[in-house]
A and B are shown apart, each in its own frame.
Chain A
Amino acid sequence: MSLILGIDTATDVRAGLARDGRVVASGAVEDRRAHAEQLLPLVQRVAAEAGVSLSELTGVVVGVGPGPFTGLRVGVAAAEVLAEALGVPVRGVCSLDAIAQAWADEGTAPTDFVVVADARRKEVYWARYRADGARIDGPFVTSPDAVPDVALAGPGASLTGREGVGPAVLDAGLMAAASDRLGEVGLEPLYLRRPDAEVPTTRKSTITTARIGMMGPR
């Protein structure tokens, strides 16, 4: 018997529970800026809705992106610490894979499709899948123009100028139910981008006027 908690913060705030591979609760807070505030209260709500105590969990699965970094880290930190405190294993999976698997599990996925998410700065995250939900390429971060011209799913589909036909959002209950079938990618968020930072190279002049030398050595 298994009771898996699924958490994803790659886009908005999502949590769900699955018992023995069947969804028992799933919830979302559709806010892309309140991961730190809303995630743990949501976890409590889905547990209450399912009528379970978190101490009954047998595992945690977390979407590690790709997605905006700050939100991703909230989900991964929470998942890791929940698992640590409860003494259960935690698995990191690609958030795009979870959407692809949900479509595959519906039985309606086409033979070749792409799941797209918003990467901001006029770019998208995407990965390419087969009908059974297996990832065959990606994930990448590119301009929307570079997304292959196949069927689309995911929260960023419309950014390509085309319409998505598969699931538009990740359902954390379904992700928990499919946990065993999703490939483990580790617990480091899928950043895909390097941190922005400038290395100061030259010393900036601090002399702005000719009035210098007012404080020579005594």
Chain B
Amino acid sequence: MTAPLILGIESSCDETGVGIVRGHELLANEVASSVDQHVRFGGVVPEVASRAHLQALIPTLRRATAAADIDLSEVDGIAVTAGPGLAGALVVGLAAAKALAVALNKPLYGVNHLIGHVAVDLLDHGPLPQPCAALLVSGGHTSLLHVRDITGDIVEIGATIDDAAGEAYDKVARVLDLSYPGGPVIDKLAAEGNPKAIAFPRGLTAQKDQAKHRFNYSFSGLKTATARWVETERLAGREIPLADVAASFQEAVADVLTAKAVDACEYLGVDTLLLGGGVAANSRLRGLLEERTAEAGVTLRRPRPALCTDNGAMIAVLGAEVVTAGRRPSSLEIGADSGMPISTVLA
């Protein structure tokens, strides 16, 4: 059997993505982002995102089929993000995917967005050694996964108990009067700062947290500590050393993310760690993770940065994987599952 030709649609947050793959081969990955429309709100506004998805849908679909140089009638199946994400945004992609499936008389696969962030690496590095561990870090999610079978057996062994790492970046950026989204701007500033200038707290790393929270994360305390430090300095009339604050904050985030991920590999007895999600593009996180996985003898896999942020190709390749594994298509009656658990790969 030749590898399936799958079109994937992503609309869980503020990117409208349409990707086309043949098995593990990337043919098209077109993304329209509404991030500019959310800047003045300092975060994603669901209604604004949903309106933008509808506007971007057909142009993005056309760009993708043109880039892949295929006709829609050639596809073997339609994959779509069924969740988790913003309900009102998800239903736009879901309606589009169902319409394609019905019009073309092809099967529909409603897949889990988070697992798409893992699957996308197949496009860059081929089959995944299984089992392996995966660290997913983005604006909306921070989790540690035990990937036993990407098409049906994934266990979340840890997650953030409050803010996602990306949210902490956005909030700290706001405190520092920097632009939204916070990740790239803090990363850039941090390059010129001293990561040891300020000792910010590392959430859930104390001995007492090990029993219950060995693999969980917490960024709320770090966010508050950073904001407090900045405010105290401002009240004292001192100038804020922006680069040092950014570097110290970023170091605290990267330190705890990487330490727990490497610990998880050891605990699970796996020798491969996959880094995914939008924050995976962060230079310090990548650098520190490279160091620490090398020390631990763990192979680090990470997709190219362009594939780390939300896109349709990650949904398409997960769909292709699910098709190849012979999983049954989704019902045309599936709904958007804004809280879709990571244990559910396919709706």
**A contacts, CB < 8 Å to B:** 34-41, 43-44, 54, 69-70, 73-82, 84-86, 188-189, 191, 195-200, 203, 205-207, 212-213, 215-218
Binds A, one of B38-46, B161-169, B297-305: B38-46
Q: Does B342 contact A (CB under 8 A)?
A: no
Tell me if B197 is interfacial: C-beta within 8 Å of chain A.
yes
Could you tell me the dominant secondary structure of chain B's interface residues? helix
Q: In the complex the two chains form, what is the Cα distance from A212 to B229 in whole Å?
A: 8
Is B70 an interface residue, CB under 8 A from the partner?
no
Q: Is the CB of A74 within 8 A of B51?
A: no
Name 21 interchain pairs, CB-CB below 8 A, sorted by A: A35-B91, A39-B95, A40-B101, A40-B332, A69-B51, A73-B50, A73-B51, A75-B95, A77-B92, A81-B57, A81-B95, A81-B100, A82-B103, A85-B72, A199-B40, A200-B41, A203-B174, A206-B175, A206-B228, A215-B200, A218-B197
The answer to whether A43 and B102 touch across the interface, beta carbons within 8 angstroms, is: yes
Chain B residue at minimal CB-CB distance from A7: B99
> B231: which of A36, A200, A205, A216 is its contact (CB, 8 Å)?
A205
Smallest CB gap from B97: residue in A:
A81
Is B41 a contact of A37 with CB atoms below 8 Å?
no
* Pairwise interchain contact A212-B72, C-beta atoms closer than 8 A: no
Query: For residue B92, which residues in chain A have a CB less than 8 angstroms away from its CB?
Result: 73-74, 77
Q: Identify which of B50, B99, B228 contacts A207 (C-beta below 8 A).
A: B228
Q: A77-B57, A213-B232, A215-B228 are in contact. List 5 more A-B contacts (CB 8 A).
A: A69-B47, A74-B95, A80-B99, A200-B42, A212-B231
B66 within 8 A of A: no
Give the distance in Å from the alpha carbon of A81 to the alpha carbon of B334 in the complex. Answer: 18
A-B contacts, CB under 8 A, total = 136
The answer to whether A80 touches B58 (Cβ under 8 A) is: yes
Instruction: Please state if A206 and B227 are interface contacts (CB–CB under 8 Å).
Output: yes
Interface centre among A36, A82, A86, A195 (most CB of B within 10 A): A36
In the bound complex, how far is the Cα of B244 from the Cα of A218, in angstroms? 11
- Residues in B with CB closer than 8 Å to A216 are 198, 229, 232
- Contact size range, B: 35 or more
Given known pairs A34-B335, A206-B228, the reply for A82 and B197 (CB within 8 Å) is no
Q: Does B283 contact A (CB under 8 A)?
A: no
| Contact indicator per residue, chain B 34-76, by CB within 8 Å of chain A (1) or not (0) | 0000001110010110110111011001100000000010000
What residues on B are CB-neighbors of A79 within 8 Å?
99
Q: B residues touching A (Cβ–Cβ < 8 Å)?
A: 40-42, 45, 47-48, 50-51, 53-55, 57-58, 61-62, 72, 87-88, 91-92, 94-96, 98-104, 174-175, 196-200, 224-225, 227-229, 231-232, 241, 244, 332-336
- Chain A nearest Cβ from B287, distance in angstroms: 22
Give the CA-CA distance A134 to B65 in the complex, in Å.
40
Q: Which residue of B lies closest to A47 (CB)?
A: B102
Chain B residues with CB under 8 Å of A69's CB are: 47, 50-51, 88
The majority secondary structure among interface residues of chain A is helix
Tell whether A217 pairs with B72 under 8 Å between CB atoms, given A34-B335, A207-B231.
Answer: no
Q: Which 6 A-B pairs have the closest CB atoms?
A: A195-B47, A85-B103, A81-B99, A206-B227, A40-B98, A36-B91
Q: Which of B95, B241, B333 contacts A73 (CB 8 A)?
A: B95
The chain A residue with its CB closest to the CB of B223 is: A206
Given contacts A36-B94, A44-B332, A207-B232, contact A86 B103 (CB under 8 A): yes
Give the Cβ gap from A17 to chain B, nearest Cβ, in Å: 14
Assess the A77–B225 pair: CB atoms within 8 A: no
Query: In the complex, A37 Cα to B224 Cα: how many Å?
Result: 41
Name B177's closest neighbour in chain A (CB-CB).
A203
In the bound complex, residues from chain A placing their C-beta under 8 Å from that of B61 are 81, 84
Q: What residues of A have a CB within 8 angstroms of the CB of B53 in the complex?
A: 73
> Which of B58, B92, B228, B334 has the most chain A CB atoms closer than 10 A to its own CB?
B228
> Contacts A36-B95, A54-B102 hold; do A81 and B241 have CB atoms under 8 A apart?
no
Contact of A197 among B47, B101, B334, B335 (CB under 8 A): B47
> Given A81-B99, A82-B103, A85-B103, A76–B199 Cβ distance below 8 Å?
no
A81-B225 contact in complex given A73-B50, A215-B200, C-beta closer than 8 Å = no
A170 to B326, CA, bound (A): 42
